[in-house]
Each structure stands twice: as structure tokens, then as C-alpha cells.
Amino acid sequence: MESLFMTKRIVALAGGVGAAKFLRGLTRVVEADSLYIIGNVGDNLWVFGLYVAPDIDIVTYALADLWDDERGWGLRGEGFQVRDGLRLLGLEDAEWFNLGDRDFATCIFRTHLMKRGYPLSRVTDIIRVKFGVKSKIIPATDNELVTQVHTLDGWITFEEYYVKHRFSIPIDGLRFVGADDAEPAPGVIEAINSAHMIIVCPSNPLASIQPILSVKGILEALKANRNKVSAISPLVGGRAIKGPADSMMSQLGYEPSVAGVAKLYREFVSTLIIDTVDSKEQQKVMEEGVNARVMNTLMGGVNDSVELARRVLSG
């Protein structure tokens, strides 16, 4: 391992797939236990009577080297007997929401502890330890906070929009239900204030990062540490690598470009890392008051993730 920051604390704001790919590389160039990951909870939902945390689980599985990165969720070599059994029994949610058998086990365990009174942050910590993950994974809040989008038929959860409808239906609104009462989970603000560097992973700015920012005190803490904050654009050439970030930005009134990302982040991010494809957009990013660094941000495999992490840290 090429450790650039052996003992200095690195904080990452993380969604799901893009974050997981980047963090796999980051943990190979920093001491894993010096990395604090603040995870998105806006995708979390109750389904099958279980509390599911999609983004946090993707990150946990990725850092445990168990993630099915081809599918983009769940564990490698997974079986689906429980899901298939629920479908046979006619459970409607099983027709659109997929969990593998071991993924079900994670969610059963989480729900069991939460029903015994454990907060989500404590449960998340127990799970990451059991999976052998050395980096700290902290949900942004222990309170329930649900990302919803507004469609022609009304408000639905982001997971319904993303998974059930495959982000194919038009939207014209975004909200974070529960944000007014959401307090930062223990350790979140302290991690931000004590960080040597803060990295916003290449996650959906609206569906993954904004839910984190909606929690009381987090945006203010990031603003106070803006000079330490770098973000990796999830858009390359105006398109999302995976997921609906570009479509959501366009439909909700934001320019789907690196300049649009810079505009969304300019309050709390000092540097935006953009792909070489977008090198001509560097000036537009800087016009938003954000410094721009150009490098290859595409991560086809772990080696690409390691190289990106190394270059991000070297700045």
C-alpha cells in the first residue's frame, strides 16, 4: 500500500456506487482506520418489514471486498431464494425491490438491533466491524430522513423512482422528509472539523449528497472547512456514469455539466475534480468560484480507483 496520509484524518461524503468505487481505491492509499465515511441515508427504507440502507451497505460491502460491482449492489455470488419465495407468495414489493439472501441477513440483523433500541450509527458500526471494515462508516443522521421526488402521480421515494421505475418517469420536485428534525449522528461534525481533507465522492449531487447536507449543522460545518473540501464530479461530458444524476439535474433546473455541479457545491467546496473530457469546461467551473483540477476520473477497475485516489490526495 502506498500510504500518502498515514495518520491524517480523511473524511468522505458518500452515496452508493460511485462512492464505493472511489473508496475502494482510497483505502489502498491511506491507512484505512484514518478514513471516516459519512453515508447517505436518504435512500433508506422500510421494506419486507426490514430497515434497508442501500448506500451504506454498498460502501460496506465494497470495503469488505465482497461487493458485486458488476450488478452495482449486493454481494458477489449471491442467491435469491428468499426473494423468489416472497414473489411466489405474491408479495408486491418483491417484484421490484431486490435483496439477495445474505443481503437479507444484513437487513434482518440491522432491524433486530434497531428494534432493541440501537441507533443506526451504532448498528452501522457493528456491521462494518463484523465485515472486517477498518474505516469508520457513519450515517449522516440517526433520524429517519427520506429522499422523495415529485412525479405526475405525486411524491414517491427515491428508491421507487430509481429501482421500480428505473428513473424513466418525469420529475419536477425533490424533498428530504424528516430533514427539519434530523440531527447529525455522533461523530459526524467532529470528523468534519478535525479532518485534514474532506472529499465529496462522485455521487449524485441531488439524491446522494444533498440529503447529507440537509441534516442540521453539516452544511455549516463544511462551509467552515471549505478550504479542505474537494469534490469529484459524477458527470463526465454532461452524463452520469451510472444512475440519474444528469437527468435529475436537467429536470430540476440545474445544468447537467461540471459547471452545474460546481454551482451546486460552491458554498462548501473549494476544488472540483473534473475528467479530462471536460477540460474545456475548467474556466466555467472557476467562474462559479470553485477551483478546477483535471484528471482521469473514470474507474473501470480497482487500479483506476487507486490512481484517482492518489491524484486527488496529491492536490
pLDDT in tens, 178-229: 999 999 999 999 999 999 999 999 999 999 999 999 999 999 999 999 999 9
pLDDT tens digits, one per residue of 144-185 = 999 999 999 999 999 999 999 999 999 999 999 999 999 999
Read off the pLDDT band of 2 (50, 70, 90). very low
**Which three-class secondary structure state does DSSP give residue 187?**
coil
Read off the pLDDT band of 109 (50, 70, 90). very high
What does the alpha-carbon distance between residue 105 and residue 291 come to, in Å, rounded to a whole number? 44
What does the alpha-carbon distance between residue 261 and residue 268 come to, in Å, rounded to a whole number? 12
For residue 252, what pLDDT is reported?
A: 98
Asked if residue 69 has pLDDT above 80, the reply is: yes
Q: From 218, 220, 221, select the one nearest 209 (Cα to Cα).
A: 218
What does the alpha-carbon distance between residue 1 and residue 170 come to, in Å, rounded to a whole number? 45
* Helix segments in the chain, DSSP class H: 17-26, 54-63, 81-88, 101-115, 120-130, 158-159, 188-193, 210-213, 218-224, 245-251, 258-265, 282-287, 302-314
Q: What is the pTM of this model?
A: 0.96
CB atoms within 10 A of CB 206: 21
For residues 171, 211, 206, 295, the Cα torsion angle rounded to the nearest 10 degrees is -160
For residue 7, what pLDDT is reported?
A: 62
Read off the pLDDT band of 6 (50, 70, 90). low
Asked if residue 292 has pLDDT above 80, the reply is: yes
pLDDT tens digits, one per residue of 20-66 = 999 999 999 999 999 999 999 999 999 999 999 999 999 999 999 99
Q: What are the structural domains of the chain?
A: 10-43+134-314 (3.40.50.10680)
Grid-cell match 474556466, residue found = 283
CB atoms within 10 A of CB 276: 11
Q: From 139, 158, 156, select the one nearest 147 (Cα to Cα).
A: 158
Read off the pLDDT band of 72 (50, 70, 90). confident
272 CB-near residues (< 8 Å, 6+ apart): 230, 231, 232, 233, 258, 261, 262, 265, 285, 290, 291, 292, 293
For the record, the C-alpha cell of 175 comes out as: 424533498
Mean pLDDT of 284-311: 98
For residue 5, what pLDDT is reported?
A: 53
What does the alpha-carbon distance between residue 174 and residue 90 come to, in Å, rounded to a whole number? 31
Q: What is the mean pLDDT of the chain?
A: 96
For residue 307, what pLDDT is reported?
A: 98
For residue 157, what pLDDT is reported?
A: 97
